[in-house]
Amino acid sequence: MRMPLKAFANARQGVLAFAVAFAPLCLGQKVELVPDIAVAESEYRDANEAWLKNDPDLAKDLLKGDPEDVRRRIHKAAALRDDAMAKKQTYLGLVIERLQAARKRLPQTGEDLIPTAVLKRDLQAQQARVLNEQERVEGLLRDLPQSDEYLIARRALNDERSNLVTLQNDVALRIRSLESISEAQQAIVAAPVESLTQDLDDLLNTWEEERAGAARQRSKWAELYRAMERDLDRKDPAEKVSPPTRGGGAKTPKKSKSGTGKDPAPRGTIPPP
């Protein structure tokens, strides 16, 4: 089925218009995945549990089982352990990055604080205007006659007074919120920034030491499994069971002339007691 030339031209124009419209949005876009600490920790825990449950009898069967089977088990255990340690390092790295970001966000000067005093003055001025308007409406309601022809006007003034009361309550709530923020900021300013910085630095040092320890443990675990494989290669062939002789049984020592089954002591020597 052929498409008419006019329909093809209209479709082409539509596609071109779509591309032109969304080109500014598509250009310069960078997809960035934000790492999640909880996901990284869960992946590390799962990998560590998989290693723990994999082969608990590997060390016991090292010199007893089939060498090729034991070698395969060593390689699998080493891969699982290395994966768990790598995920542990990733998890610790994300924790350190989060602490470093928090360290940079510490307020160094008063310029980083919210100007609560200025905002509170503006809200107080707004509250005063609302209260004046509320008094004006209430005065109109008092001066309004009680006859039925003023019922609509009285209802409108009552609605306006209700709206002003609601607005006044909202402004008062915002003022109280600003007061709470101001108290919190004063506590932050009063607290020595050096103390907070020192606490975060100590915490960072602890996590960095943990990450360095995980890196050392990863290399030590890898060396341990390599040592197990070397022990498997150095397995003593004499420990293996020797094949039976052609006679079907073990050879018995020949009896000596003395009939004791032992060779006589050499001449010039004293036999053991």
Q: Is residue 3 part of a domain?
A: no
Asked if residue 88 and residue 201 are part of one domain, the reply reads yes
The model's confidence at residue 249, banded by pLDDT at 50, 70 and 90, is: very low
Whether 254 maps to a domain, the answer reads: no
Nearest residue to 261 via CA among 248, 251, 247: 251
Is residue 238's pLDDT more than 50? no
- Judge whether 7 lies within some domain: no
Q: Is residue 72 domain-resident?
A: yes
Cβ-proximal residues to 50 (8 Å cutoff; 6+ apart), any chain? 80, 84
Annotate 64-80 with DSSP letters as a single string: TS-HHHHHHHHHHHHHH
pLDDT at 235: 66
pLDDT number for residue 256: 45
The angle at the Cα of 151, spanning 150 to 156, to the nearest 5 degrees, equals 100
Residue 99 and residue 47 share a domain: yes
More reliable by pLDDT, 87 or 117 = 87
Let me know if residue 151 belongs to a domain. Answer: yes
Choosing from 191, 225, 257, the residue where a domain stops is 191
Are 86 and 141 in a shared domain? no
pTM check: above 0.75: no
The residue with greater pLDDT, 268 or 180, is: 180
Domain boundary (136, 157, 191) is at: 191
Residue 22's pLDDT band (cuts 50, 70, 90): very low
- CATH number, domain of 166, equals 1.20.58
Q: 82 and 127 in one domain?
A: no
Q: What is the mean pLDDT of residues 153-166?
A: 89
Tell me, yes or no, whether 164 and 201 share the same domain: no
Domain count, the chain: 2
If pLDDT is split at 50, 70 and 90, which confidence band does 149 have? confident
Range of the domain at 173: 111-191
Mean pLDDT on 8-13 = 50
* Boundary residue ending a domain (191, 225, 246): 191
Q: Hey, CA dihedral for 31, 36, 41, 42, is it positive or negative?
A: negative
In a domain, 87, yes or no: yes
Highest averaged pLDDT of the listed ranges 5-14, 81-90, 194-203, 243-252:
81-90
pLDDT mean over 179-197: 75
Residues 202 and 183 occupy one common structural domain:
no
pLDDT of 236 over the 80 cut: no
pLDDT attached to residue 18: 47
Residues 124, 187 within the same domain: yes
Q: Is residue 69 part of a domain?
A: yes
Per-residue confidence at 76, pLDDT binned at 50, 70, 90?
Answer: very high
**Per-residue pLDDT at 219:** 94
CA distance 125 to 88: 56
User: Does residue 82 lie in a domain region?
Assistant: yes
pLDDT higher than 90, residue 265: no
pLDDT, residue 264, reads 45
What is the C-alpha separation between 72 and 74, in angstroms, rounded? 5
What region does 268 belong to: left with phi over 0, alpha with psi -120 to 50, or beta?
A: left
Residue 32 has pLDDT above 70, yes or no: no
Q: 42 and 166: one domain?
A: no
If asked whether residues 183 and 202 sit together in one domain, one would say no
Q: What is the pLDDT of residue 90?
A: 94
Q: Are residues 101 and 206 in the same domain?
A: yes
> What's residue 12's pLDDT?
52
Average pLDDT for 178-185: 86
| Same domain for 99 and 196 | yes
* 187 and 197 in a common domain: no
